[in-house]
Structures are given as C-alpha cells and as structure tokens.
Amino acid sequence: MKPIIRYWGRKAGSIARPYIGKYSKLGEIVLDPFGGAGSIIKTALIMGRKGIYSDLNPLAALIAKVELEGVDTETWATVSDELFKGDWVRYASLYEVTCKCGRKTQAVYFVWSGERIKAVKVKCSCGTNMFRFYEENTEEIAPVKEFPRGSLKYPNGLPFLKRRQVNTVSELFTQRNLTILTALLKDIKQLRTDERTKRALFVAFASILHQASKMSRQNGGAWSVNCYWLPKRHVERNPYFLFKNALKRLSRLKGIATVFSLEAVINGEASLAVLNCDAGELPLPDNSVHLVITDPPFTDEIQYFELSYLAASWLELPMPFDKEIIVNHNQGKTFNDYCHLLSKSFLEMYRILKPGRRAVIMLHDEDEEILTKLIELVKQAGFTINKRKKEQMVQRHVGERNTLRGKDLLILNCRKPE
C-alpha cells in the first residue's frame, strides 16, 4: 500500500525482517528508538513480536501511531461524509470556473506564472482538460485570522538551512488555499469522534499541505526540491480534491495493533506502545527489551525537524529542535555535537537491552571517516560488533545529493555481553 503521507528516509520492512526473525522470538519485545514512520515496528508486529516505537519528532510519532492503529472503516466513512458537509465547503466557490463550453465546474488546479494565473485544469463533462485563464479571484477572498504564524527559524532566531525566498509558513500558500485549509482544520478539530479517528484526520490533513502549497509544480512530483521555496511557475491545487483523495487513501489503512501504555507492553499485557521522547532518555527499565533495531538520523543529509515543520506548525505540534540529533550549523550543532547526542542514545540502547541479546544499527554515510567514528561510538557504549554488512537500497535523498539512486547502508550486528 502507498504510504499515507510523505516521510523522509523510510525504510522498507524487508530490510528489518531477517534480523527480527533471527534475533527475536514470538512475543518478545522489539524496540526502535528512532522510529520515524514506524515501518520497523510495523514489521515486528506483523511477525508476532511486541513493539515499542519511539521518536523525538511529534509529527513522526503521530504518523506512526496512525499507520499502526489504522482506521475503523465505518467510522471513517461517517466522518468523511460529515466533513464534506462542514463549514469549510462554503469556500468551494473559490475554485469554481466557467469552462469553454459555458458550464460551471471546479478547477483541479490553477497554473501560476509569477504573480498571475495563466491557465486552469478542469475535468469537465465536455472533455475540456486545460485552457487559458486570467482571473485571479483573490480580491474576493476575505483574509483569515487563524492561519499558522510560524516562522522558518530556529529558537535561536537563525533561519532554517533549507529555506529560500520565504520567512513564514503562511507565505507558502495563496490566500485562497490559506483560507480553505484553515477552515478545514477548524472543522476537523470541532468534529466529534474518537481520538483514533481524529489523529488519522490530522494526518490526512498534513498529507496534503505540500501539494496545496506554492511549492507544488505540474510535473515536479511530491516536494521535489529539498527546501521551502517559491518556484516562478507553480500550481495551486484544489484542497477539496486533495483531501478527498487523502481520505480515500487512509480508508484502506488496516490496523496492526492497538496502542497501549509502555508498562502494559513491558508486563506482557499488550503488544504496542508508541513513545514521543528523546532516544537519549528512554523511560524503559534496565534489561527490558529483547532486540533493538533502528536507523539513527543521518549527520546532515536529512533535516527531519525542518521538513516536518510545515505540518507541525499547522497542527501546533512543538518541535524540540534543541534535542534533535543532527549536524546543523544554524542550530549551533557541529559533528562533535551530533556524536555526543548520538552516543547518549547508544548508551540507552545498551542499558535497556537484555544481556546476551542483539542490537541491529543501520548507519548511512558515504564518508568512511564518519562511519569509523560512529562505529567507535557503538563500541564505547559497550556493544560487541559481531558482524558488519553493507546492503544497497534505493531511497530518495533529501539532502545535498537529492537524487534517486542506490546507496550503501552499513548494518552493524551488535551484541550486549552476558
């Protein structure tokens, strides 16, 4: 199934599967302290293990919880119908255009060149697909007051590394889409439904933000440039179509397990816990898990918190940049700072792993000196490295390389001594 939302650095469950099968038994606890979108823990649960997911990024934890819980089909259909009768639908006229055949129809998107709309794409019953269009319609749109006011800056006041031309989140949207999205989010918040469904609706909303923004291009794919920017030519996509597709996509999401407390999983009473916490300060008892398998953050290739900030600002999720394990000079974090923070997480993995059991740590980098340093940090935590294996994967980079190609993943097979 296609992922419910774009998230950077996803790992295929097939990479983790053989290690889970070899180094854990049915019913044993598998931990991923850098859980990301949850693919490793999802694989562990499918294989009959108990799973503890953790990630410092609140957006990642929200996505993982939704991916693992799934949605109730009947409830989802009910709330989907209810939302399309909500207050936000009153703005649908902002996308209404007159086709060349004379019929009124909804625009799929407007094509902007600079500051003006030049064309519109429609799906009219007459067969018309796209035609020239010069109306802007933005003069008729009343300004909104509740849009996200986040600045693309770190808490220290310095700008994001991956930012061009824009200083705030709201600058990434036209007045039309800012108005519609604000109204939609308000309707979601006011909807009376269970927390599981509400979380999934927030993820559905978050999944359309980059598509509904000025960063969207006709043939540019999903967030094809690795920063916040304003292309000279962009498309303004209709949020009603985007959200309808997102709801349909999530309607097929089957749950793997129900989320319970950490204590319930440790005590063998439940199969899944989802934590949103620092990998260097995990709230787990000593010697409590049977297998650690994880994919720590890259040095500087993926600025996870920056890339998550677009959705986090809309959803009002706090982003603890100060604790992010990253190389980022605007945050004041050097490679040595990255190593210090990462070493704390390795020490935590060692502390909570049962004696004689395995930790499988996946490392990314093309610089052998950096890899050597990271391997040394694993050893300093107390682990014995039994085996090293390079596995090639194909994954989209979101860093300077920003390409789609094979990349070596160094997998360390580690053991905590008896």
- Per-residue pLDDT 10s for the chain (418 aa) are 567 887 776 666 789 999 999 999 999 999 999 999 999 999 999 999 999 999 999 999 999 999 999 999 999 999 999 999 999 999 999 999 999 899 999 999 999 998 889 999 999 889 889 999 876 555 566 767 788 888 999 999 999 998 888 999 999 999 999 999 999 999 999 999 999 999 999 999 999 999 999 999 888 766 767 789 998 899 999 999 999 999 999 999 999 999 999 999 999 999 999 999 999 999 999 999 999 999 999 888 789 999 999 999 999 999 999 999 999 999 999 999 999 999 999 999 999 999 999 999 999 867 889 999 999 999 999 999 999 988 876 554 444 444 444 467 899 999 999 9
CB-CB neighbours of 403 under 10 Å: 9
Q: What is the CATH number of the domain that holds 334?
A: 3.40.50.150
Which positions ≥6 away from 324 have C-beta within 8 Å?
56, 297, 304, 305, 331, 333
CB 382 within 8 A of CB 416: yes
pLDDT in tens, 13-31: 789 999 999 999 999 999 9
Domain boundary among 251, 268, 288: 251
Report if residue 50 sits inside a domain. yes
pLDDT tens-place string over residues 176-232: 999 999 999 999 999 999 999 999 999 999 999 999 999 998 887 667 677 899 988
Same-domain check for residues 227 and 171: yes
Range of the domain at 295: 13-70+254-415
Domain co-membership, 196 together with 291: no
Chosen domain end from 217, 251, 285: 251
* Model pLDDT, residue 149: 85
Residues 227 and 102 in one domain: yes
Helices 239-251 and 195-207: crossing angle in degrees, nearest 10, is 130
Same domain, 85 and 37: no
**293 and 386 share one domain:** yes
| 7 is a domain residue | no
Residues 335 and 307 in one domain: yes
Based on the fold, state whether residues 261 and 179 are members of the same structural domain: no
Q: Is residue 2 part of a domain?
A: no
Is residue 179, in this structure, part of any structural domain at all? Answer: yes
**For residue 270, is it within any domain?**
yes
pLDDT at 162: 87
Distance CA(16)–CA(48), nearest Å, equals 14
Gap between the Cα atoms of 90 and 68, Å rounded: 34
244, part of any domain: yes
Closest to 349 (Cα-Cα) out of 288, 277, 258 = 288
User: Which residues, other chains included, contact 24 with Cβ-Cβ below 8 Å and sequence gap of 6+?
Assistant: 30, 44, 49, 290, 291
Handedness of CA 258, 260, 266, 269 (dihedral sign): negative
- DSSP structure class, residue 343: H
> Same domain for 186 and 270?
no
Q: Cα–Cα distance between 39 and 26 in angstroms, integer?
A: 18
Residues 129, 209 within the same domain: yes
Give the chain's domain count.
2
- Do the beta carbons of residue 386 and residue 414 sit within 8 Å? yes
Question: Are both 79 and 214 inside the same structural domain?
Answer: yes
Give the predicted TM-score (pTM) of the model.
0.93
Flag whether 3 is in a domain: no
Domain end point (choices 204, 235, 251): 251
Residue 361 included in any domain: yes
Residues 85 and 199 in one domain: yes
| Domain shared by 182 and 37, yes or no | no
